[in-house]
């Protein structure tokens, strides 16, 4: 690969790495939370933290790919397919800079992956619910005057209402 193209990709990867690290810092600031709020706020906050962890994992995975590409640039193997050792087309590298397979090898890999039966990919196929996990809630009969109208008050809130 030409040195101008290699330098272009090296600068691109360094910029990507820098921007990813900056966004990781902002994610960590988002991750810090306060303990104020009700139960709904806590559940929402917990869900947001789960999503942030997932995003952080994806960013770390991408950073590993960027580091691997920088390593390949340093050892002179960037732009060379790791499977067949042919050159990866420049258009493919512009579309997917971290690519380490030429388009032919990547298509072969994906073709093989699609032939793996779903049973081998799925971790839940064939599993059913266990009745021990199902909780039956008691059905309370409605008392007179306690319809589902706008004036209905939940039983546990009645104690907090002052007449």
Domains in the chain: ranges and CATH: 1-78 (1.20.120.910), 79-124 (no CATH)
Query: Hey, how many other C-beta atoms are within 10 angstroms of the C-beta on 78?
Result: 22
Give the span between the Cα atoms of 10 and 4, in whole angstroms.
10
Question: Hey, what are 160's tokens?
Answer: 């907090």
- HSE on the CB side for 52, CA within 13 Å? 17
- pTM of the complete model: 0.57
Q: Give yes or no for residue 91 having a pLDDT over 80.
A: yes
CA distance 26 to 40: 24
Tens of pLDDT, residues 39-82: 888 888 888 888 888 888 888 888 999 999 999 999 988 989 99
What integer pLDDT is reported at residue 150 of this predicted model? Answer: 42
Region 120-144: what's the mean pLDDT?
59
φ and ψ at residue 100, rounded to 5 degrees: -120, 5
> Across-strand partners of 80?
87
């Amino acid at each position: 690969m030409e040195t101008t193209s290699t330098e272009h990709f090296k600068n691109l990867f360094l910029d990507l790495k820098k921007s990813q690290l900056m966004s990781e810092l902002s994610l960590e600031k988002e991750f810090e939370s306060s303990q104020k709020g009700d139960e709904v706020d806590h559940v929402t906050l917990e869900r947001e933290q789960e999503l942030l962890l997932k995003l952080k994992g994806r960013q770390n995975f991408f950073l590993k790919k960027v580091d691997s590409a920088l390593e390949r640039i340093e050892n002179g193997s960037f732009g060379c397919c790791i499977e067949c050792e042919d050159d990866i087309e420049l258009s493919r590298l512009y579309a997917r800079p971290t690519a380490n397979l030429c388009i032919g090898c990547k298509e072969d890999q994906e073709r093989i992956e699609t032939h793996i039966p779903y049973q081998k990919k799925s971790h839940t196929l064939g599993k059913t619910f266990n009745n021990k996990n199902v909780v039956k809630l008691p059905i309370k009969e409605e008392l007179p005057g306690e319809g589902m109208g706008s004036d209905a008050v939940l039983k546990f809130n009645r104690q907090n209402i002052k007449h």
